[in-house]
Structure 1
Amino acid sequence: MTNAALAFVFPGQGSQKIGMLSEIALEAPEIPATFAEASEVLGYDLWDLCQNGEQEDINLTQRTQPLLLTSSVALYRLWRGRGGALPGRMAGHSLGEWSALVCSGVVAFKEAVHLVRERGRLMQEAVPLGSGSMAAVIGLDDEAVEVACAGSAKGEVVAAVNYNSPGQVVIAGNSAAVERAIQACRAAGAKRAMSLPVSAPFHTELMRPAAEKLAPQIEAVQFDTPEIPIVHNVHAQAESDPAAIKALMIEQIYHPVRWTACTQKIIADGTAQLIECGPGKVLAGLVRRIDRNITCHAVDNPYSFNEALRSTAA
């Protein structure tokens, strides 16, 4: 049964940690079964990696991306298998948009695992290690951050790339330009402006070569019409045409993530309750900053999963 007031959101990179989903997997065979499917594609044991590996291993973007996709899909399968309501809409933050595509029936899970591994590899290869960086800016409005970036470029690339919530923007680009923009944001009155431990300047023009290399692989995979509307990062609108969705998933690699606008769109469309379907509560925290009237649930442990089931039952 569909709950029109319910939305699912899927996290991106940064939510991974060793031991994630271990507790819920003990009572939900759907979790390790989904990881086993992904492992067949990847050629290594993804569940063992995230339970017994090292944090630096799961932080490698070509491993992080399949890991988070698989975690989100596993939890969504469990949700539906336990009688959880069908949401009225979906959105995903960066990589999380691929999780939304799988859960909405646009692309097959195993195809998505392959594509996001390639996405991660190509994004890492697009910029030499150490020559690009990202930084979080807290307490400055979007326009002031954009002005600071424009004045700091000096022939290099630096831009706002994640509009996460009012007063929280991530910038990225060439390392020297990002450092200049950090100083400019501080001078403009930012409460905090700090480098992030990220290996590449995601969602900038520097990622366009990665998008161009991934594009033929995306084009070769079948995309179907979404069963549940997905609000896309690039323009904060839903799209039903599979060809248009493919184009958006290519553009998404080098376009900003307009998360504030995506959240505002799903709320305007009638969302009252929201489930973060993946490890952690990063997106729930952002959503609360955007609109405190929205009830947010996590589902990455047995207690919160069962609580969300009860709270969203039609």
Structure 2
Amino acid sequence: MSKIAFVFPGQGAQYVGMGKDIVENFEVANNVFELASEAIGYDMKKMCFEGPEEELKKTENTQPAILTTCIAIAKVLEEKGIVPDITAGLSLGEYASLVISKAMDFKDAVSLVKKRGKYMQEAVPLGIGTMAAILGMQREDLEKALERAEEFGIVEAANFNSPGQIVISGEVKAVEKACEFAKELGAKKAVMLPVSAPFHCSMLIPAGEKLELELKNIDIKDLQIPVIANVHADYYKDKKEVIDLLVKQVSNSVLWEDSVIRMMEDGVDTFIEIGPGKSLSQFIKKISKKVKKQVITYNIENSETLDKVLDNLANK
């Protein structure tokens, strides 16, 4: 029996114009943007459709903007009768999964991720922390590079995205040294990333503590669709786990590769990436080659890609 997973991207996928033609063509998507504007107190359409890019790139704007675009598209799919068997999202994308699973109301989620973005940005002063992508290296070898770099400061694995792509995070000097050591130990490439904070490492624990206080103020309901959590690449057992796992997620590694493998093992053969960009689809293709699983990946970010996916699913 074929299973469908909805997967949602994280920060970095944004671009000016995202969601525009979906909103122009579907009332249900327009309603999502209207709700977002009400919840956060500024015009979400203007932010996503017009920018400017510098404003959209600010973490506290990026996170609600991407979440809004993802949910707007997902609601169109729901309206067309397409619902997932399982859902997961990368970092910020996990909030979209929780909204789709009915664990969290969209208005609560969009307000929450605006604050999450602000807390993550404020946790570490600008210039103190950074991130880098390490390409073409096994986890075990990267661990050795990180151990060697620890004498220069905090540096940790932040995202296990796909075979051969791991992102590290921490203090600038330690991250730079880890890149050097990774290359010495056989990494094909080590690229410093243009980010404003060291996400998904222990330096972000204070942001998680602030987020916890906000999470305690919202109504979390039973999950109607299984959601895989980034922190342990396993399913949320029940709504009682939501606060704990979302707090940990801020400062823990994102186990995306493991999450995708888990979904494949549980029978998912069709992945629909919903929202701006195609990075998750690319990761999933690499992961499927590694585990030798035949899967189909789609991405939906506008009306054209939506029509294509609807046609393909109708003909399956």
TM-score by length of 1: 0.96
Matching residue of 1:310:
311
Q: Secondary structure at the match of 1:217?
A: helix
| Structure 1 segments of 4+ aligned residues over 4 angstroms from their partners | none
Task: Note if 1:257 corresponds to 2:254.
Answer: yes
Task: Note if 1:152 corresponds to 2:153.
Answer: no
Matching residue of 1:127:
124
CA-atom RMSD in angstroms: 1.3
Deviations 1:5-36 (A, max 9, x none): 11000100011001112233321222232111
Q: Secondary structure at the match of 1:172?
A: strand
Deviation at 1:240, TM superposition (A): 2.9
Matching residue of 1:52:
50
Matching residue of 2:277:
280
**8 Å Cα contact 1:4/1:87 also seen in 2:** no
Deviation at 1:155, TM superposition (A): 5.5
**8 Å Cα contact 1:150/1:159 also seen in 2:** no
Matching residue of 2:267:
270
Task: Note if 1:139 corresponds to 2:136.
Answer: yes
Matches within 5 A, 1:216-255: 216-255=213-252
**8 Å Cα contact 1:276/1:298 also seen in 2:** yes
Matching residue of 2:3:
5
Deviations 1:130-182 (A, max 9, x none): 10000001001111112111110116210111000011000000011101111
Q: Secondary structure at the match of 1:19?
A: coil
Q: 1:106 & 1:248 partners in 2: Cα distance?
A: 13
Q: 2:50 & 2:149 partners in 1: Cα distance?
A: 42
**8 Å Cα contact 2:47/2:65 also seen in 1:** no
TM-score by length of 2: 0.95
Task: Note if 1:297 corresponds to 2:301.
Answer: no
Deviation at 1:186, TM superposition (A): 1.2
Deviations 1:186-212 (A, max 9, x none): 111111101101110001000001101
Deviation at 1:56, TM superposition (A): 1.6
Matching residue of 2:164:
167
**8 Å Cα contact 2:77/2:83 also seen in 1:** no
The code of the aligned residue for 2:47 comes to: L
Moved more, 116-125 or 143-152: 143-152
Matches within 5 A, 1:185-224: 185-224=182-221
Moved more, 185-194 or 300-309: 300-309
Structure 1 residue runs without a partner (length 5+): none
Structure 2 residue runs without a partner (length 5+): none
Q: 1:235 & 1:6 partners in 2: Cα distance?
A: 21
Deviation at 1:40, TM superposition (A): 0.9
Identity %: 39
Count of paired positions: 311
Q: 1:24 & 1:71 partners in 2: Cα distance?
A: 9
Q: Secondary structure at the match of 2:197?
A: coil
Q: Secondary structure at the match of 2:151?
A: coil
